[in-house]
Amino acid sequence: MFSGIGGFEVGLQNSNLEHELIGYSEIDKYAIQIFEGHFEGAKNYGDATNIQGDELPDFDLLVGGFPCQAFSVAGRQRGFDDTRGTLFFDIARICSEKRPRYLVLENVKGLLSHDNGKTFQTILRVLTDLGYRVEWQVLNSKDWGVPQNRERIFIIGYLRGFSTQKIFPITSSEGEPVATVTHGAVSSKPKLIEVTSEVDHLLKEFRTFYARKYEVSQEEICDYLKKWRNKSGWSTKKIDEYFGYAHTAGHWFRKDNNSGSIPNPDDWWGLKKILKFDDTYDKQVTTLEERELTYEQSLRVYDTSLSKTLTSTEEGGLYRVSPTKIRRLTPTECEKLQGFEYNWTYGLSDIQRYKTLGNAVTTNVVTMIMNKLAERR
């Protein structure tokens, strides 16, 4: 349920747990596009609130990452007061009607502390009352083969009457440690790898990038957008809400080379739709061309933290690592950080690729959990 781009199914496919996908539940059109592209023929039962138990075939395992925004810090932690938070009860309703033997749920770590722990206690009580023995643990993706600090709580329920042994707690020492970056070398027990050769290997697939074909003045675009925003009456807050952003639109109306920015093509067309501006700058802003990246040989890694990327600036066609500036992770890098295959989300705009990947479960962690379940069946 709440299947997104298929993180749970990818994790299951990479595990030793034999299974057959009988259907999924998703309403986001972009996530559905990716899911259907990879799992052709899978039936989408749609909105979880409308699924009736008698519509579903019998099944043994229910998995899902019910919407986390209601419990996350970024989502203001409104919990069950947010309609997204109440979607857990649709999972409970379906479990009550279909009685699957196992359920595996994922959510943000903030679920534990929301409302002083009362929200989590409610979830545990509901599942227990439904006849499930419940265990849970916070797991970090960095312990399971991807260089990303991503703590998520996983809840496993076992229907009473089946003798499956519990799998938690799992220690990080059982995982697959990732390479850790140190000054001048990448350390991956037990040997050291020189950064220059490792970086060249990692960046082979990122030899080209897309950039604007025509020079555009950020100050001119700022003045232009301000004029049309004032005509339309849209505030930056309202524009952010329209795009689903937080504190992003303001940068488009800020005449400042350090914090002002020109909208990317997708955002430009979205702005054109609501501000109804003319075609003066359409070509300059939205026409992209593919360019080749060249890297200087003396690449060094300055930041030793997990989930940090190489930092680079453009100078004379060369991309040089800088200790003071960072670049955004590419969509394909985000795919790797979540354990997906290269270009898993290809076909979506970059904005939607980032969004769907950010909402996804790390597939490596799912694989580990399913392998543990397979061992104890």
Query: What is the bridge-based pairing of β-strands 191-194 and 185-188?
Result: antiparallel
pLDDT at 328: 72
Domain count, the chain: 2
What is the tens place of the pLDDT at every residue in 231-252?
A: 999 998 899 889 888 778 888 9
Task: Name residues of the chain where pLDDT drops below 70.
Answer: 68-85, 163-164, 173-209, 256-259, 292-327
Task: With 0.85 as the threshold, say if the pTM is over it.
Answer: no
Q: In terms of residue numbers, what domain contains 31? A: 7-178+338-376
pLDDT at 247: 74
Point out the residues that are catalytic.
Answer: 68
Using CA atoms, how far residue 326 sits from 62, 239, 314, in Å, is 40, 26, 12
Q: Is residue 305 part of a domain?
A: no
Statement to judge: residues 168 and 44 lie in one domain: yes
Statement to judge: residues 66 and 124 lie in one domain: yes
**Residue carrying structure tokens 């209601």:** 70
pLDDT at 330: 84
Statement to judge: residues 48 and 131 lie in one domain: yes
pLDDT at 176: 58
The answer to whether the beta carbons of residues 359 and 4 sit under 8 Å apart is yes
What is the tens place of the pLDDT at every residue in 329-339?
A: 788 888 998 99
**CA 55, CA 7: separation in Å to the nearest integer?**
24
Q: CATH number, domain at 50?
A: 3.40.50.150
pLDDT at 78: 47
